[in-house]
A and B are shown apart, each in its own frame.
Chain A
């Protein structure tokens, strides 16, 4: 605002008062004399002075209202977008867009923005901060914040003339009148302040730049660990050892008697593959033992693992295996889904040894043959009469999967009983598939299958032909060399 055309430019006239009443009186006189560019300076807000000076009301309430509305809109838009649209997820059964839950934040931001409107709006309307003001040149003006009241008439007022204004003020109850002139003190900010400021600002950018650089570059250095105990957790991984338990296993086996989710309801027939009713008639002791094993949790006395049913005894105890009244039929209702599930499980757990086709030539077997492993017992092929349903009932097959046979381990711990029954179903399907005729296939697929068969035969023939040629060539080459 400071005019620098004239060194000692007159800005206006100021008069000092000692009480509110004399000031108000003076204000009215000045107003009635037709001055409009006037202002009073007081140590506190004097009521009635706006009327005495003819000051118009402020637009501040509208700014505050605008701020409040902006806050409300921001809060609602933010919450709806963030929780309802951009990243929706259900929490405690509340809808994505739950207006009642959005109200508190909406209220807070309304108040926050409205308060910003009031605070910053007020300073902006007042033209503050403004550190250089000609009125500060008046030597007695310092007391305006203490106990004195000042009335000021601006030189820019249309009806301003210095002598007239001074006379007007002299008529009021004042002892001090002064002309306000330009502030001629240097407006240059001290150099070292600027230097310090620039240095501080420059330095404050360094961390930002470092962070920005880190974000766009990669580093071969291992990351820096500020809190090692949080980065390197003492928790054990699945296959590690620990000294906490006698068996040194970090991974704890199920507590005896643990029943997997969803299996509590199943009966013993289902879990063992044995017709328990018949077994009780034949061998009551063994039936009792089986019941005890599966009901440990209720008895509260966990038994040792060697009390597992005799059924998981290896092959030499053939007599038991044969005398056991196995379930003849799969207790699971056979549907396409069950068979597909069985296929999936078979391919995961069984196919490594038994091969996907069940012929007993899985990858493990191939490798064992390759390295001529001496103790290797080749896995059985599913496609032998002795394993068909008539001789090897479903229950027995289930038991074998569960508890193993010869070198084969039991899979009860890994495969759920329902899935084991699915595998049984799949194995039956697999067995049938190897003995099926074309008539077993639905009519509409027969043609397709025939075509496929032709393709395969053709491909095989070609392969055999290629093989033969290669052999011939090699033979020819060998002959040439010799």
Chain B
């Protein structure tokens, strides 16, 4: 039932030597244009409006909470000695992690010539940017005097006569996240220009035409332009790939360069990156599975696409599991009492429930993807992915809170209690994310039409060859 694929074709089975189609049915170029453009061109449906209103309400609630926070001070959060990095930083790391899937799909899968990326990369890139926006909010307000957050930038200040501290990982983070946001935005926009030109050329309304016309920069589809465009795309992909790795690596440095037990471990960089990809893909699937049905894109975002992403989730989930294990092993092997305590405390201390949630959601639940049934049934995919998202939030919670609440000074130990503002901001950040995502669905091309057509062209070409 869930495997009901248009045209009755199951493209998840690929016989070696033949490539299963990525665009299903007797689709033509024009069909692709139609399928993608109708999403933006038809008036918003009831589901969209309802979703948007809910998301927008949550976004406003986030805004109110931020205003309250700024006016009153960071005491409204549950951050208390010794847990000074509470939920805001947990949320930051969580959202930055989610922001990894988009550029990874766009850049790394592009470099590895994984053509199945073409119909999901656009939405994933958009999610990256929105997730980075959510992520950027938290350190911005976490600095306390949020209106002075610009002090983080190295600008010649007449008031301070001093410069930021470049030997601090927190400043590296400023550069990493802002570079990542900027490059992702460029990458996303550049990839969108040919499709915006399609929107421009199809718009009946003068204003719409003008707006998309400006965004499309006068794109004509000239071969010379395409050639440079492709080169630029490949170069940006090659630049973005190490950039993706660097961002979460630097986020992991925030923790790992310190001497806090449970934070100072050298596996953090690759383990954070794997975790980020893991959570990012889970979020992409959580959104894309319902979206493909609601927006009518089943022919372009096929079960095969979903299955491949499930496999990546399985792989990265297993890497994360191995990293958890290695940490425990080295803590025992290293025989440093503080480290040993930190890890035992994680699993068996007062936050055992968080650790248990983390392990069961992150390590155990993706193991279901070893079974084909779970990889190809959309609602089961969403179910597992939601668990993964929860698990990854808890992973950051475990890392931040368990280590800080039990530091080197036992007299300072305490238990972290979130406040209603903490809760509101976490939920509100989803409001920001979904508001932007729903607007994107309605205003921008959700699927990379040009690249999908190029995939289709290859498919047609192969078919053509086979017939001869």
Contacts and interface: CB of A to CB of B under 8 A. Distances in A.
A and B form one complex: yes
Contacts of A50: 223, 227
B14 interface: no
Nearest to A94: B167
Given A43-B29, A55-B227, A82-B164, A135 B175 contact: no
A413 B461 CA distance: 94
Nearest to A152: B222
A131 interface: yes
B457 interface: yes
A101 B218 contact: no
Interface in B161-203: 161-169, 171-172, 175-176, 179, 182-183, 186-187, 190, 194-195, 197-198, 200-202
Interface string A274-311: 00000000000000000000000000000000000000
Interface string B212-246: 01100111111111111111100110011011001
A94 B167 CA distance: 8
B225 A101 contact: no
A38 B166 CA distance: 52
A147 interface: yes
Contacts of B169: 104
B223 A53 contact: yes
Interface residues of B, number: 72
Interface string A100-129: 011011011101101110110111011011
If over half of B's interface residues share one DSSP class (helix, strand or loop), that class is named, otherwise mixed; here it is helix
Given A111-B179, A131-B218, A58 B454 contact: no
A422 B182 CA distance: 65
B220 A133 contact: yes
A115 B236 contact: yes
Given A46-B226, A128-B219, A129-B217, A118 B28 contact: no
A142 B198 CA distance: 8
Interface string A44-85: 111001100101001011001000000000000011001100
A87 B167 CA distance: 13
Interface in A116-162: 116, 118-119, 121-123, 125-126, 128-133, 135-136, 142-147, 150
A451 interface: no
Contacts of B30: 146-147
A91 B167 contact: yes
Contact of A49 (B200, B218, B223, B236): B223
A150 B201 CA distance: 15
Contact of A79 (B166, B190, B223, B224): B166
Contact of A41 (B71, B165, B183, B222): B222
A42 B223 contact: yes
B95 interface: no
A78 B154 CA distance: 9
Contacts of A21: 464
B320 interface: no
Given A53-B223, A112-B182, A146-B30, A104 B246 contact: yes
A122 B234 CA distance: 12
B179 A128 contact: no
Interface string B349-377: 00000000000000000000000000000
Contacts of A126: 222, 224-225, 228-229
Nearest to B199: A145
A130 B197 CA distance: 13
Contact of B172 (A82, A105, A145): A105
A20 interface: yes
A111 B235 CA distance: 11
Contacts of A60: 228, 231-232, 235
Given A78-B154, A91-B165, A111-B239, A119 B232 contact: yes
B73 A230 contact: yes
A118 B30 CA distance: 31
B250 interface: yes
A221 interface: no
B198 A146 contact: yes
A155 to B, nearest CB: 16
A109 B179 contact: yes
B33 interface: yes
20 contacts: A42-B223, A43-B29, A43-B453, A44-B449, A44-B453, A50-B223, A50-B227, A60-B231, A83-B166, A91-B168, A98-B167, A107-B242, A108-B179, A111-B239, A115-B183, A115-B187, A118-B235, A122-B232, A146-B30, A147-B33
Sorted nearest first, the 4 A-B pairs with minimum C-beta distance are: A147-B29, A122-B232, A82-B163, A129-B217
Interface of B: 28-30, 33, 70-73, 145, 154, 158, 161-169, 171-172, 175-176, 179, 182-183, 186-187, 190, 194-195, 197-198, 200-202, 213-214, 217-232, 235-236, 239-240, 242-243, 246, 250, 253, 449-451, 453-454, 457, 461, 464
Given A119-B236, A130-B218, 4 more contacts: A42-B226, A108-B246, A111-B179, A145-B202
